[in-house]
Amino acid sequence: MAGQAESVKDVFERHMPERLKNKPDVVAKIAAVYQFNISGPTGGQWSVDCTKPGGAVAAGTDAAAKCTVACTDADFLNIVNGKLNAQMAFMAGKLKIQGDMGLAMKLQQILS
């Protein structure tokens, strides 16, 4: 990743689109929609659509999401910036996944 993400908004507006663009093969293999529900003062809701060529990131919710990821803004930033292991966060209850767990496992390929 080119530098650390400074905010959750930074992740979805700058880092995530860049990663999707740089990994078209991963996006094509995933071919599903993710929903991110990030709580906290700098949180929000975003969808990451890997069904579109090159992927797409949008603010808000997407009813087509097959996997929903929920956590606090601080924990999400720590996961994205490599300071918190996503699997450990899940086991500790800091990261909640709903829907397709197989897709949740593939998400690490985009986040890292």
- Other C-beta atoms closer than 10 Å to the C-beta of 44 total 15
CATH class of 8-111: alpha beta
d(CA 28, CA 42): 30
pLDDT in tens, 46-75: 999 999 999 999 999 999 999 999 999 999
Amino acid at 34: Y
- pLDDT-derived band at 110, boundaries 50, 70, 90: confident
Query: Count of CB atoms within 10 A of residue 101's CB?
Result: 11
